[in-house]
């Protein structure tokens, strides 16, 4: 099997997208004191920390940022090998009555977000839940729509969207990889 890759967002473009997402989240907020940003591991967690830092820098207010592990809430546990769960970390005063913004790297079928809703509501009942994604690639299997989108990237099902974060991959980029089968 061979593949072709095309970089669609570089470091500067990702930075601008995250800044725009941060301003949109601020603009929507009535009170930042009730805002909790939760990243879905692995790269959603990194992006949530960056967004929280940008919002804090813009508003000069501390922002609650945490992690929401969804591993045990996935509907594909029987079909895919289980990854090691990440720790969930939420603010000490919880999420009940708070405005929670879930952050993920790529929105595809919607199944990861559905698992995140299940995990989130096992922890408490937020006043409102919103979704921020760096990339929305389409092909939803569930009726889920993001509130904040860094970049819409229409893709085919034969393509894969790869998000690279400098904290994990030593580079910031968004790459579309098209896999082609070759026969010998």
Tell if the pTM clears 0.85, that is, is over it: yes
User: Measuring CA to CA, how many Å separate 61 from each of 32, 58, 100, 165, 169?
Assistant: 8, 8, 17, 25, 30
pLDDT digits (tens, 9 = 90+) for 28-73: 987 899 999 999 999 999 999 999 999 999 999 999 999 999 998 9
Lookup: tokens for 163:
């998000």
pLDDT digits (tens, 9 = 90+) for 140-158: 999 999 999 999 999 999 9
CATH of domain 11-76+86-155: 3.40.50.2020
Lookup: tokens for 117:
């809703």
């Amino acid at each position: 099997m061979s593949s072709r890759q095309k970089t669609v967002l570089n470091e500067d473009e990702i930075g601008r997208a995250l800044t725009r997402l941060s301003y949109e989240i601020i603009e929507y907020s009535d009170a930042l004191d009730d805002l909790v940003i939760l990243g879905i591991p692995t790269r959603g967690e990194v992006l949530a920390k960056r967004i929280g830092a940008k919002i804090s820098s813009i508003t000069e207010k501390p922002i609650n940022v945490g992690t929401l592990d969804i591993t045990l809430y996935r509907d594909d546990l029987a079909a895919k090998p289980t990854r090691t769960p990440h720790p969930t970390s939420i603010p000490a005063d919880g999420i009940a009555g708070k405005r929670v913004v879930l952050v993920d790297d790529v929105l595809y079928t919607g199944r990861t977000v559905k698992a995140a809703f299940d995990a989130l509501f096992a922890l408490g009942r937020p006043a409102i839940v919103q979704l921020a994604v760096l990339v929305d690639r389409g092909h939803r299997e569930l009726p889920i729509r993001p509130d904040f989108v860094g970049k819409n990237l229409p893709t085919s099902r034969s393509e894969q969207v790869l998000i690279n974060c400098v904290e994990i991959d030593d580079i910031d980029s968004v790459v579309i990889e098209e896999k082609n089968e070759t026969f010998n």
